[in-house]
A and B are shown apart, each in its own frame.
Chain A
Amino acid sequence: MINLSEVLETNKMVSEQTLDVRTITIGISLLDCADSSLKRTCDNIYAKLTRIAKDLVKTGDEIGRDFGVPVVNKRISVTPVAIVGSACCKKPADFVKIAKTLDRAAKKLGVNFIGGYSAIVSKGMTPADELLIRSIPEAMATTDLICSSVNVGSTKTGIDMDAVKLMGEIIKKTAERTKANDSLGCAKLVVLCNAPDDNPFMAGAFHGVSEGDAVINVGVSGPGVVHAVLKHCHGMEFGELCETIKKTAFKITRVGQLVAQEASKRLGIPFGIIDLSLAPTPAVGDSVADILKEIGLEHPGAPGTTAALALLNDNVKKGGVMASSYVGGLSGAFIPVSEDQGMIDAVEAGALTIEKLEAMTCVCSVGLDMIAIPGDTPAESISGIIADEAAIGMVNQKTTAVRVIPVAGKKVGDNVEFGGLLGHAPVMRVSPFSCAAMVSRGGRIPAPIHSFKN
């Protein structure tokens, strides 16, 4: 029988330590919506989304009420639109029409984001992939709820450097097109390597072609809970510290598992995976940086940060895997800058640089995330940053990503306000040295060798 202290512990996690289920994301295949007519494709997409996800928001809220744990976001991910629109889209503007259809469906359903305005170009771009990529700035500027992602590489295929070069330019254009909102469009655009097919978290969520027709994926969170528990671990040796993180991750993930199964039952859609990520928000006490500080760092970015993050990430996974039979997505600790007050403080204190963040991405999910950089950063330098992250992912067989925002008109030290979950960020310094000659070579970096690992 459950006892009083266990009940109070759970409720304290929710009320004081910001435990929540970050997102219930329904992945929906749009492959059967493809048609040679753009209008029919759009009509099919709208009809399918509003049919399958019609009860998502209501059900998410009900589950939250029944169990007393907030289900913060209800979202949709769809088949990469470059595939869906490949038969009917002949110019970038055609893809923008699909984006607007997705946006309209998302607003009708009341979800807060829809992901999958994506192209998977890890080895090369089809004409449709390239059209979609070129349509991203316009799509981001004329919609509100669309998230876009482009996968430019993988461990098996290498890195498509033509796509990397193009994405540097596209990020710049997106920043320019959305400059009235501090280049907000770039906050909804991510470039990935080894992107998972079942990720429920934005901006990188899409419903991969390996998935079924519709599936429920759930992302749990709870950096505040881990932080609160670690407050009682001062001076403990690493074995005990790791054990504590594991136990906490287990409890958090079990909540996600329960919510996912319940959502699957109530919506009549199969359960896919739990993504057991520690996803911070700008709210006080909901910070991955605070956990790193609790482990013993003055600020994230101090020597030792990569090791601290590595042990945190690994033990979150170990605890979470025990709690759910189906773990997928990104699963680990997120280290976005603008969405984590502790990270923002570290940047402002001069402790954290892009180069240190890059090192940290080697040991955690996902990558350089929500980093504001000067608006005059050359497109080639952004491509260089993407190439570096993709190389880390490719060689280490892990997902990596870049979501940087070259904020139009802003320079190092300025502050940018994105609002809501996206937070605010100090503009960070990018190395001024050029990589233009390398980026403009064109072609593909071959896949790495899979033996002789050192």
Chain B
Amino acid sequence: MKKAIITVVGKDTVGILAKTCTYLAKADINILDISQTVVQDYFNMMMIVDYSKCKKTFEKVGTELSKLGMDMGLKIRCQKSEIFEKMHRI
């Protein structure tokens, strides 16, 4: 399994989850876990995904997700999960 963390941050609007998930499904990226909060109309979401079956390069997925985010006025980032595991777990 190759795990990545996708974060979506920005103003809440209709269809954020739908559009992000549609992209991931098309790219053969499996969602393992989703958590989200909305604080004062501000949308914070994190997905843990498995990209081991994805044919696209990690860089391309990152760029396309970032663009998808920009179209919705959001910031979407895709990062390999090790950075969070290393930083927050001994």
**Chain A interface residues toward B at CB < 8 A:** 1-4, 6-11, 62, 65-69, 251, 254-255, 257-258
| B48 within 8 Å of A (CB atoms) | yes
Give the residues from 39 to 82 in chain B that come closer than 8 angstroms, CB to CB, to chain A.
44-46, 48, 58-59, 62, 77-82
A4-B36 contact in complex given A11-B7, A65-B62, A68-B77, C-beta closer than 8 Å: yes
Bound Cα distance A258, B79 (Å): 13
Q: Does A2 contact B48, Cβ atoms closer than 8 Å?
A: yes
Cβ contacts under 8 Å, B36 to chain A: 4
Cβ-closest chain A residue relative to B45? A4
The answer to whether the Cβ of B26 comes within 8 Å of any Cβ in the partner chain is no
**A7 CB contact (under 8 Å) in B7, B58, B59, B82:** B7
A67-B82 in contact given A4-B37, A4-B46 (Cβ < 8 Å): yes
With a cutoff of 8 Å between Cβ atoms, the chain A residues found around residue B88 in the complex are 2, 6, 9-10, 251
- Chain B contributes a number of interface residues (CB within 8 A of A) equal to 27
| Inter-chain contact total with CB atoms closer than 8 Å | 63
Q: List 15 A-B contacts (CB under 8 A).
A: A1-B33, A2-B85, A2-B88, A6-B88, A7-B84, A8-B9, A10-B83, A10-B87, A65-B62, A66-B58, A66-B80, A68-B77, A68-B78, A69-B83, A258-B83
Q: Do A7 and B46 contact each other (CB < 8 Å), given the known contacts A1-B33, A67-B80?
A: yes
**Chain B interface residues toward A at CB < 8 A:** 5, 7, 9, 33, 35-37, 44-46, 48, 58-59, 62, 77-89
The B interface, classified by DSSP as helix, strand, loop or mixed, is: strand
Given A65-B62, A66-B58, the answer on whether A8 and B7 have CB atoms closer than 8 Å is yes
Which of B9, B35, B86 is the most central at the interface, judged by chain A CB atoms within 10 Å of its CB?
B86
Given contacts A2-B88, A8-B46, A67-B80, 4 further A-B contacts (CB under 8 A): A4-B37, A6-B88, A7-B7, A67-B82
A103 to B53, CA, bound (A): 44
When the two chains form their complex, are residues B87 and A254 in contact, meaning their CB atoms are under 8 A apart?
yes
Closest Cβ of chain A: how far from B17's Cβ, in Å?
14
When the two chains form the complex, which single residue of B9, B44, B79, B89 contacts A66, counting CB atoms closer than 8 Å? B79
Q: How many Å lie between the Cα of A254 and that of B46 in the bound state?
A: 21
Q: Is the CB of B87 within 8 A of A67?
A: no
Give Cα A8–Cα B6 distance, bound, in whole angstroms: 11
In the complex, what residue of chain B is closest to A7 when comparing beta carbons? B46
Cβ–Cβ contact B87 & A68, under 8 A: no
Contacts of A6 in B (CB 8 A): 84, 87-88
Residues of A within 8 A of B80 (CB): 66-67
By DSSP majority rule, is chain A's interface helix, strand, loop, or mixed?
Answer: helix
Q: Taking CB as reference atom, which chain B residue is nearest A254?
A: B86
Q: Which 4 A-B pairs have the closest CB atoms?
A: A68-B79, A67-B83, A254-B86, A6-B88
Complex Cα spacing A6 to B44, Å: 12
C-alpha spacing A103/B46, complex, angstroms: 45
Which residues of B lie under 8 Å from residue A3 when comparing CB positions? Answer: 35, 46
Give B75 Cβ to nearest chain A Cβ, in Å. Answer: 9
CB <8 Å contact, B86 and A257: yes
Bound-complex Cα distance A17 to B18 (A): 32
Residues in B whose Cβ lies below 8 Å from that of A65: 58-59, 62
| CA of A9 to CA of B87, assembled, Å | 10
**A363, B62: Cα distance in complex, Å:** 43
> Chain B nearest CB: distance from A198 CB in Å?
22
Smallest beta-carbon distance A332→chain B, Å: 21
Residue of B with least CB distance to A69 = B83
A1, A6, A7, A9 — which one has the most chain B CB atoms within 10 A of its CB? A7
| A1 in contact with B48 (CB, 8 Å) | yes
Given A11-B7, A67-B82, A68-B79, verify A251-B87 contact (CB < 8 Å). Answer: yes
- Whether A258 lies near B86 (C-beta < 8 A) is yes
Greatest chain B CB density within 10 A among A2, A67, A69 is at: A2
Query: In the complex the two chains form, what is the Cα distance from A254 to B84 in whole Å?
Result: 10
CA–CA, A434 and B14, complex, Å:
74
| Interchain nearest-CB distance for B11 vs A (Å) | 16
Q: Residues of B contacting A1 with CB < 8 Å? A: 33, 48
> Shortest Cβ distance from B12 into chain A, in angstroms?
15
Closest-CB distance, B3 to chain A (whole angstroms): 9
Q: In the assembled complex, which residues on chain A have CB atoms less than 8 Å from the CB atom of B35?
A: 3-4
Chain B residues whose CB sits within 8 angstroms of the CB of A257 once the complex forms: 86
Complex Cα distance A8/B37, Å? 12
Name the distance in Å between B16's Cβ and chain A's nearest Cβ. Answer: 15
- Expressed in whole angstroms, the Cα–Cα distance for A279 and B84 within the complex equals 22
Rounded to whole angstroms, the CA-CA distance of A8 and B43 in the bound complex is 12
B34 to chain A, nearest CB (A): 10
**Which of B44, B59, B79, B83 sits near A4, CB closer than 8 Å?**
B44
**What B residues does A8 contact at CB under 8 A?**
7, 9, 44, 46
